[in-house]
Amino acid sequence: MTKETDIKITEVALRDGSHAISHQYTVEQVTAAAKALDDARVPYIEVAHGDGLGGSSLQYGFSKTDEFKLIEAAVSATDFSKIAVLLLPGIGTIEDLKEAAALGANMARVATHVTEADVSEQHLQTAKELGMETVGFLMMSHMVSAEKLVEQAKLMESYGADTVYVVDSAGAFLPHQVKERIKALREALSVNIGFHGHNNLSLAMGNTLAAIEEGATRIDGSIRCLGAGAGNTQTEVLIGVLDRMEIETGIDLYKIMDVAEDIIAPILQKPQEIDRDSLTLGYAGVYSSFLLHANRAAEKFSVESRDILIELGKREIIGGQEDMIIDVAAELAETNKTSV
């Protein structure tokens, strides 16, 4: 178990939660949330389009508000909390990163598919040069062995990452698998180890605690479970659990509960729960942000969203291949026609 005060929380609802509300955050919502999270003493608040800097597009979904205005608003609303941004190389650019830093973002979280850490080199190095805290984010970590994960994590460490995350993008991990991977990284790396979970199999909290038990010290949470799929590890619940375990995070439990109830709950378009489709995401090992895209494709082609997600899982489709959702839906519709 980690020592007290070792656990630092990054609140991701203002980025990962963007998926759940179709990237419709307003300046007013982000300002209110960031100010309240700052008052609750949350160390890091991630702000960006759901797919990171530069994500506002036809393929990933257009933002209601320019993400740099949201970043600027969050920076202006905070005194204690540091503002983090996510960047996926190939979606976001070095120039996007520089603009975010100029606006006051303090942390760069550079995300790649778990086998593609090599594309993060220039982005991590640039973030270092900009004076930002650097995080390597290995998405869809469930798709590779612990040995392969270590190989990719060591690349990110060599590029200057201060922290490397095991990212359960699909919410597909089981606790023993998380423990195996966190332990392997802890033994192989000298930098901080982080964990980002999704709740599609109702295991986000269990997986997070398993990660902490094996030495992860940087943990992501989404307040009110506001995140892609069935959401992430629920921040206010996590703070209560860690407090019961006498693990100090520095976050005020009552205040974070109030943020969840009074500020974030009204933003939710519907309660974050494990429904048929989000369960299928975890079962099939499919990227959580695919959920809304799959639902829209299912309606357009009159097929079941579950069938789309299962087929995406079989094909091992990963983030950045959102265009395949339409292709799969069209193929399923055609197959249904010919089988009638």
DSSP 321-337: -THHHHHHHHHHHHHHH
| Catalytically annotated residues | 19
Which class is domain 289-339? mainly alpha
Mean pLDDT across the chain, nearest whole number?
94
> Does 4 score more than 60 pLDDT?
no
121-129 and 94-102 helices cross at what angle (nearest 10)?
20
> Does 307 score more than 50 pLDDT?
yes
CB-CB contact of 223 with 255 (8 Å) = no
pLDDT of residue 2: 44
CB-CB contact of 289 with 50 (8 Å) = yes
Sign of CA dihedral 301, 307, 312, 315: negative
pLDDT, tens digit, for every residue of 86-106?
A: 999 999 999 999 999 999 999
Q: Which token pair is 38? A: 């700052």
Instruction: Specify the pTM.
Output: 0.92
Give the strand pairing for 133-139 and 218-221.
unpaired
Locate the domains of the chain by residue range. Answer: 8-267, 289-339
Rounded to whole angstroms, the Cα distance separating 37 from 11 reads 8
Task: State the binding site for Mn(2+).
Answer: 16, 196, 198
Rounded to whole angstroms, the Cα distance separating 254 from 29 reads 20
Does 8-267 carry CATH code 3.40.50.1860? no
> Does 5 score more than 70 pLDDT?
no
- Residue 8: what are its φ and ψ, rounded to 5°? -115, 130
Rounded to whole angstroms, the Cα distance separating 105 from 93 reads 15
Give Cα separations from 253 to 39, 102, 238, 290 (angstroms): 11, 32, 10, 32
CB-CB contact of 147 with 168 (8 Å) = no
High-pLDDT (> 70) share of the chain, %: 98
> Does 3 score more than 70 pLDDT?
no
Rounded to whole angstroms, the Cα distance separating 113 from 7 reads 25
Give Cα separations from 92 to 52, 99, 134 (angstroms): 7, 11, 16
pLDDT of residue 340: 55
pLDDT, tens digit, for every residue of 247-293?
A: 999 999 999 999 999 999 999 988 899 999 999 999 999 988 888 88
Q: Where are the alpha helices (DSSP H) in 65-120?
A: 67-77, 94-102
Give Cα separations from 210 to 125, 178, 200 (angstroms): 31, 7, 17
Residues 6+ positions from 93 with CB-CB distance below 8 Å: 53, 54
Rounded to whole angstroms, the Cα distance separating 120 from 123 reads 5
Q: Which token pair is 293? A: 């895209």
137-166 b/e (C-beta count within 10 Å ≥ 16 → b): bbbbbbbbebeebbebbbbbbebbbbbbbb
pLDDT of residue 322: 82
Residues 6+ positions from 100 with CB-CB distance below 8 Å: 53, 68, 71, 85, 108
Place of tokens 């055609």: 334
Closest C-alpha to 121, from 148, 165, 157, 151: 157
